[in-house]
Amino acid sequence: MLFFDDGPALDNDVAAHSHVETQLTWYIPRDGTHIPPATLIIPALVPHSRGRRNSDGILVLHVSPPVLATTADELLGIPAVELMAGATQDPALAQLGASVAREVQCAWRENLFLDSLSHAVAEHLVRRHARTHTLRRAGRRKEALTLRQLNRLRELVESRLEDAPSITEMAIALEMDASQFTRLLKWSTRLGPHGYVTERRIDRAKDLLGHANLPLVDIALAVGFSSQSHFTATFRRRTGMTPGAFRRQLSST
C-alpha cells in the first residue's frame, strides 16, 4: 500500500494501531524547500499513531511480510530480520521518498512502480537497518543475468509496454524468485525493474517520435504512460529534452 497526503495536518493523531506490514513514513516539506524528507521506520506489529506538522506532507509505504522475508533470505540467508525502529536521516531512504512523492503527485500509480519501490525499500532496510548483519551469507559470488536472460526479459517487457509485467512475472520468465531477479537486474543493468521498464518505454517512444503524424498523447499512451504530462516529465529526466524537442531534432537531421 502507498499513499500521499499533503492536505492540512490533522488536529489529533489517529488512535494508536499496528499492522503486519513494515511501514515507512516520509515527512516531506510542502514549502518548496529542498530539505531531504525525514524517514520513520515502523516494524511490523509495532503500535503507532499518525500525525504530522503543518508544514509537512506525509508519504506512507507498507512493505509486506513476504517481500521482506524473501529479501532477507536472499541477502542474508535467513527468513526474518529485526528492523531498527525510529526516525532516520538515511540519505538513500530520503531520496527514495522524494522521488516517490514526485511520481505520486503525477498520478503515477502503476502496480510495477509500487512493486519496484517495495523491493528497493526492503533491500535497503535489510542491508542498512537490520540487526542481523553478522549473519550475512558468506562466500556468495557476484552474479549477473546472462545475455539469454536479458534478451528474454527485453522481449517480454517490450511486448507489454502498455501493461507492464509485474516483478513476479518477470522473475518467473527468468526462472528465479522476485528478490533474486531484482538484485541480478541491478547488477546487470544498474536499473531496478521499474527503471528498466521505463527505459524500454523511452526507447520505444524515441522510435515513435520519428513519425511526425503521431500526436504526443497517443505516443504516451502507446508506450504505457498514464498521461502526456507524465510522459513529458519522464522523457525530459531521461534524455534532457522534451518529446517535442526530440522530435524537432530528429526532423532537422
Tens digit of pLDDT at every position of the chain (253 positions)? 676 666 555 544 556 788 888 998 888 776 655 566 778 888 888 887 765 555 567 888 888 888 888 888 777 777 677 888 888 888 888 888 877 777 666 655 567 877 888 888 888 888 888 875 444 444 444 578 999 999 999 999 999 999 999 999 999 999 988 888 988 998 889 888 888 999 999 999 999 998 878 899 999 999 999 889 989 989 998 999 999 999 988 888 7
Residue 6's nearest CA partner among 57, 49, 73 is 57
Those residues whose C-beta lies under 8 Å from the C-beta of residue 65, and which sit 6 or more positions away, are 20, 21, 22, 44
Give CA–CA dist 117/178, Å, rounded: 13
Residue 209's nearest CA partner among 176, 145, 252 is 252
In the prediction, which pLDDT does 142 show? 54
In the prediction, which pLDDT does 171 show? 92
In the prediction, which pLDDT does 11 show? 47
C-alpha R_g of the chain: 20
For cell 531520496, name the residue: 95
- Cβ(25)–Cβ(40) under 8 Å? yes
In the prediction, which pLDDT does 70 show? 82
Give CA–CA dist 225/217, Å, rounded: 9
3-state helix vs strand vs coil in the chain, percent to 5: 50, 15, 35
Torsion, Cα of 219, 222, 224, 229 (10° steps)? 30
In the prediction, which pLDDT does 134 show? 44
In the prediction, which pLDDT does 104 show? 67
In the prediction, which pLDDT does 223 show? 94
Give CA–CA dist 223/159, Å, rounded: 10
In the prediction, which pLDDT does 36 show? 64
Give CA–CA dist 219/215, Å, rounded: 7
Give CA–CA dist 149/187, Å, rounded: 13
Neighbours of 179 (CB within 10 A): 24
